[in-house]
Amino acid sequence: MNVAIIVRRLNVKGGTQRQALNLAQELRRRGHAVTLYTFLLSPADCYPELLEGLKVVALGTYPSSGVLSDFTENRAARMLAGAIDHKTDILNPHDQVAYKVAAYFKKRVRVIPSVWMMNDVPTRLRAEERLKEAKPDTVIPWYKRLMHRLLDWYDRKVFIAGQDVILALDERDRGWAEDEFGKQAHVIRSGVSYEQFPYRRRVSARTPPRLLMAGIFFPHRRFEDGIEAVELLRGQGIPAELTIAGDTGSDREYAQKIKKLISERGLEEVVRLAGKVSDEELVRMYREHDIFLFPNHLQSWGLAVFEAMSSGVPVVVSQTAGAAEVLADRDTALIVPPKSPSAIAAAVAVLVQDPALFAHMSEGGRAFVESRMSWSRFTDDMEKFFLMASKKHE
């Protein structure tokens, strides 16, 4: 089978890039012909080891944000669609914008099956809701709301209607997709490169307990909840320390808010912002920390959760993170309400004070990832959806 995997950018690191590249490598090992299509490519800034041996076609340009960004984005999508091999059997767009490329190929070149790995619902309506969740005092002018709804309608009619199969990483986003698009959607669980995150057996948290959070800086990460939890823990006599790893340049306003909070609470000596880290540094951080915090709100999945579990680090996860759907409270994770520093602090205190539970979650987390979260299983499921889409065209 000749598969075109379409990814908006391969010049950055992220869950979408890991997912698409691991799928490409697995499909290639199974004898499929795979080509990746992207707007921007920089192996050194992405995952050079995952790109090795893969055929990549890059447009070399991507429109900048601005008033006309939707129109220039559509133009770029048409150009990339024109670069796709006409003998392609399956289109597999990943995440945002890539589904537009697939739609243009089907309209202008050949009508073939398209399986969209949606990840997050890309509508502007959902973006508004997430913005209001992060910043409740946000006021969006009526004319912008109207424009967003018109653009969402256009996207549904022109680009999304032609997707044969829509895939989400969690049940919440699956439901949202069906509501937004009026089409059936399916859930597929992502994989983890657990061999890259070696397991270290742990029987208890160290003193002081070292907490870790990781992710590109965006408001839905809720780093502030982890910082406030540290303050609460220290007030209870548990001298917790926190490291936050992630690129602060993605949302400088939010990063500044986090830095200000650390300063206001007088936590500069115990909360460290590590900035953007390499894969090797991230592996070391998992090894050197005791508990991983993931208070992310309305996050579609949460790859970092399973990387931490693979490393043997017990995890505290928000109920509104997609990862929570597959985890069991007090077994593979401690699951807490969203936006609740007190609940996070209580969960950390339990793990610190109950070595038996700590050791059980450390060992069970790795076993869960090995048995349920492989890229091989993800590829098995994706091939089934390829077959489902192909049957619609028979």
The CATH class of 2-191+374-391 is alpha beta
CB 223 within 8 A of CB 192: no
What would the pLDDT profile of 85-127 be if each residue is shown by its tens digit?
Answer: 999 999 999 999 999 999 999 999 999 999 999 998 989 888 8
Look at residue 315 and tell me whether its pLDDT is greater than 80: yes
- Give the distance between the most distant pair of CA atoms in the chain: 66
The proportion of the chain whose per-residue pLDDT surpasses 70, expressed as a percent, equals 99
Residue 65 pLDDT class (50, 70, 90 cuts) = low
CB 107 within 8 A of CB 158: no
The torsion region of residue 246 among left (phi > 0), alpha (psi -120 to 50) and beta comes to left
Residue 28 pLDDT class (50, 70, 90 cuts) = very high
In 3D, which of 240, 208, 229, 267 has the Cα closest to residue 345?
A: 229
In 3D, which of 272, 184, 183 has the Cα closest to residue 226?
A: 272
**CA 353 to CA 245: how far, in whole Å?**
26
Say which residue, 126 or 362, is predicted with more confidence.
Answer: 362
Residue 67 pLDDT class (50, 70, 90 cuts) = low
Q: What is the pLDDT of residue 66?
A: 58
Mean pLDDT within 313-328:
96
Mean pLDDT within 175-204:
93
> Which residues contact residue 356 at a Cβ distance below 8 angstroms, ignoring those fewer than 6 apart?
none
Query: Would you list the DSSP string of 15-58?
Result: HHHHHHHHHHHHHHHTT-EEEEEEEEE-GGGS-HHHHTT-EEEE
Bridge partners for 272 per DSSP: 243
What is the dotted CATH code of the domain comprising 194-372?
Answer: 3.40.50.2000
**CA 37 to CA 93: how far, in whole Å?**
9
How much of the chain is in helix, strand and coil states, percent to nearest 5? 50, 15, 35
Residue 26 pLDDT class (50, 70, 90 cuts) = very high
Q: What is the pLDDT of residue 348?
A: 98
Residue 49 pLDDT class (50, 70, 90 cuts) = very high
Q: What is the pLDDT of residue 279?
A: 87
**Helix and strand totals (H; E) in the chain:** 14, 13
Look at residue 55 and tell me whether its pLDDT is greater than 90: yes
Q: What is the pLDDT of residue 132?
A: 80
| Tokens 């800086």, located at residue | 217
| Tokens 């300063």, located at residue | 263
So where are the chain's domains?
2-191+374-391, 194-372
Sequence-ordered alpha helix ranges (H) in 46-97? 48-51, 69-82
**CA 366 to CA 328: how far, in whole Å?**
14
Residue 151 has a CB neighbour count (10 Å cut-off) of 14
Mean pLDDT within 165-169:
97
Q: What is the pLDDT of residue 250?
A: 82
Q: What is the pLDDT of residue 14?
A: 85
**CA 7 to CA 5: how far, in whole Å?**
7
**CA 62 to CA 65: how far, in whole Å?**
10
Say which residue, 38 or 135, is predicted with more confidence.
Answer: 38
Average pLDDT, the chain: 94
Q: What is the pLDDT of residue 131?
A: 79
Residues 322-344 as b or e (16 or more Cβ within 10 Å = b): bbbebbeeeebbbbbebebbebb
> Hey, what amino acid is at 262?
I
